[in-house]
Amino acid sequence: MGTLLQDSGLDDGGSGELWNVERPEVIAGIHEAYAEAGARLLTTNTFGGTRPRLDMHGLGDRVHELNRAGAAIATEVARRHGALVAGDLGPTGELLSPLGTMEPDEARALFAEQLTGLADGGIDVVLIETMSDLGEVAAAVEAARQVVPELPVIATLSFDTNLRSMMGVRPADAVTALAELGVDAVGANCGRGPEEMEAIAAQLAQARTDDLLIVAQSNAGLPVLVGDRFAYDAPPDELAAHARALQDLGVDLVGACCGSTPAHIAAMGRALLPAG
């Protein structure tokens, strides 16, 4: 989503979530492109949709509006393509105590506020992603159980610091802790590219429990400066080979993160699904 928003003219530092109401046709077009490429889960344009993140843009009083709109746009597209909508919750940007000042109850309330808007927009799945602190994940999971107890919950961390999260969480630790919280799927997203994601996925799969799904969503390589913009260096055929490797490792939900375009998703789908 972020890659295509930037390609559509979103300035660095701008609020992509504001486009859910100011440029909804652009957001719908992005979802349409991924759906046509074969994506079975469309992720709402709400990664920065918590109050602290929106406050950075002077939009903290519009949490419900922007999240509901983001979910409604994705839902309208998904229904036409037979896809599902994942309501996207990213980190709040605040550190939980004792490293920071935010208490778990406050974090849970922030995610609950966001989820209320997403639920009103019609999401099918809760996606908690790019996390580094298991405490923040737990707060988001608790909020989901409070606001949308009937929906499945996916939780992924970014293990981009020597195969650990920024807070030192290892892939196996995440599987164990989040299985205890009762989430439906655990995994990794973002990171440093396909090769490293495969190493992480192997650890996730090894630690899995019988009924837990494993998720992997790598970046399309690493960003490189091309002119005055950054582009990611893994082409679609590389992510297609990566998708097959993830499948062989036992990953259940295969996707892609930063830098991945509809062309990447289409190539991954062709690699994973039988022709026709």
Residues placed in the known binding site for Zn(2+): 190, 257-258
Backbone φ/ψ region at 208: left (φ over 0), alpha (ψ -120 to 50), beta: beta
Angle at 255 between CA 250 and CA 261, to 5 degrees: 150
Tell me how far CA of residue 238 lies from CA of 50, 114, 193, in angstroms: 34, 35, 10
Task: State whether residue 188 is helix, strand or coil.
Answer: strand
User: What does 152-181 look like in DSSP terms, one character per residue?
Assistant: -EEEEE---BTTB-TT---HHHHHHHHHHH
**Strands of the 253-256 sheet, one edge to the other:** 41-43, 84-89, 125-131, 153-157, 185-190, 213-218, 253-256
C-alpha to C-alpha distance for 3 and 47, rounded to whole angstroms: 13
Run of H or E residues at 239: helix 236-249
Annotated binding site: 190, 257-258
Angle between helices 63-81 and 104-120 (to 10 degrees): 50
Q: Return the DSSP state at 273.
A: S
